[in-house]
Structure 1
Amino acid sequence: MAERKVNGWVKAALEYGPILAFFIGYIRLKDHTFLIGGAEYSGFLVVTAAFIPLMVICTGLIWALTGKLSKMQVVTVILVVIFGGLSVWLQDERFFKMKPTMIYLLFAAALGFGLMRGESYLQDLLGEALPMQPEGWMILTKRITVFFLGLAIANEAIWRLMSTDNWVTFKTFGLPAALFAFFISQNKLLQAHAVEKEKP
């Protein structure tokens, strides 16, 4: 299915809306305990249980509107279902907190495997949208691989050493801000290795 254009605000709302909803839901329910099916569930687990179908629905809507999903979106929603489901089923919030770690480790491993083969899998994903010389793609891929490893380590450190409040804030605001700051910091690299499109 060919990719279709969709309003940027709509796409952003579908991508980041579930994360913001999780944050708001957690803030409101974090001090509550719910008796469901004879078992007690913390507010965190209840919000996690609601987040799973919301994430699936929003990802499905993105696909329906654009006709395309990135590999990262597909992997993310799969891991949300798996790790979120395990947390709710086993009543253990640690599984859901590990999800960002797994996402970033998987992508770092995939990009690192490509680098070992002398290839930039990142170029395969973004090459059409961001024309750049092969050397630039290799440099950017190396940097993103290290960056993803850093995010995985940071997530592990925060959820293991800090409070759930700190982790939720980090997941909701810290991770997106870090991604945004990283790509802004690569502007010089993108300009130095940019490929100018031929004028018709």
Structure 2
Amino acid sequence: MAEKQINPILKQVLELGPTLAFFLIYVRIKDETYLYGGTEYSGFIVAALVFIPILLVAMAILWQQTGKLSRMQVFTAFMVIFFGGLTAYFNDERFFKMKTTIVYGFMAGILGIGLLRGQSYLQYVMEEFLPMEPEGWMIFTKRVTMMFVVLAVANELIWRTQSTDLWVKLETFAFPIALFVFLWAQIVGLQKYLILPPEESQD
């Protein structure tokens, strides 16, 4: 199915909105305790569980509007559901925090496998939007792989040693911003490898 056009602002809201909603819900109920089935659940765990349907609804709307979901979006949704379920079942917030490490680690692993095979898997998914010479793609992929490793390690260190409050703030804002700034800096730094469209001939 061909990808449909969607309003860029709506697309950003659907992609980023669920994470922001999780943050706002957490801030609102973080100090509350909820009793269900004879078990007490913290505000963090309740916020994590509410995040799941919000994410699924956003993805359903995105799929309905575009006719397409990326494999990474589907994988992330699966991880949220799986680790959200473990968090609720064991009543242990650590499972939800581990999710971020595993997602970043998985992405680093996939890109690393491609590099070992002499291929850039990033090129397969981004070449349409970022035409670049093969050498540039390999450099870009190596750097992005290392960035995912750094983020995975950082997440493990933070959730294991710092407060839940700090982890939620970094997960919501710091990690995405750091990744965005890093990717932007790499694209700017690899300008010499970009393939520019040929200039239109003039009569």
Range of TM-score over shorter length: over 0.9
- Larger mean CA deviation between 51-60 and 93-102 belongs to 51-60
Q: Structure 1 residues 188 and 13, CA, compared in 2 at 3 Å: closer, same or farther?
A: closer
Q: Check whether the contact 2:76–2:103 (CA below 8 A) recurs between aligned residues.
A: yes
Alpha-carbon distance in structure 2 between the residues aligned to 1:115 and 1:70: 21
* 1:157 and 2:157 correspond: yes
Q: Check whether the contact 2:144–2:183 (CA below 8 A) recurs between aligned residues.
A: no
Alpha-carbon distance in structure 1 between the residues aligned to 2:195 and 2:172: 35
* 1:125 and 2:116 correspond: no
Amino acid at match of 2:80: V
The sequence identity of aligned pairs, in percent, is 52
Correspondences of 1:1-200 after superposition (within 5 Å): 1-199=1-199
SS at match of 1:40: strand
Q: Check whether the contact 1:112–1:145 (CA below 8 A) recurs between aligned residues.
A: yes
Q: Check whether the contact 1:136–1:189 (CA below 8 A) recurs between aligned residues.
A: no
Q: Check whether the contact 1:23–1:169 (CA below 8 A) recurs between aligned residues.
A: yes
Shift of 1:28: 1.0
Amino acid at match of 1:9: I
Shift of 1:148: 0.1
State the 4+ residue runs in structure 1 displaced beyond 4 angstroms. Answer: none
Shift of 1:42: 0.6
Shift of 1:68: 1.4
SS at match of 2:104: helix
Q: Structure 1 residues 160 and 22, CA, compared in 2 at 3 Å: closer, same or farther?
A: same
SS at match of 2:6: coil
Shift of 1:70: 1.6
Alpha-carbon distance in structure 1 between the residues aligned to 2:77 and 2:199: 40
Amino acid at match of 2:157: A
Shift of 1:199: 4.3
Runs of 5+ in structure 2 lacking a partner?
none
Q: Check whether the contact 1:100–1:152 (CA below 8 A) recurs between aligned residues.
A: yes
TM-score normalised according to structure 2 size: 0.95
SS at match of 1:186: helix
Shift of 1:189: 3.3
Considering only aligned residues, what root-mean-square deviation do their CA atoms show, in Å? Answer: 1.0
TM-score normalised according to structure 1 size: 0.97
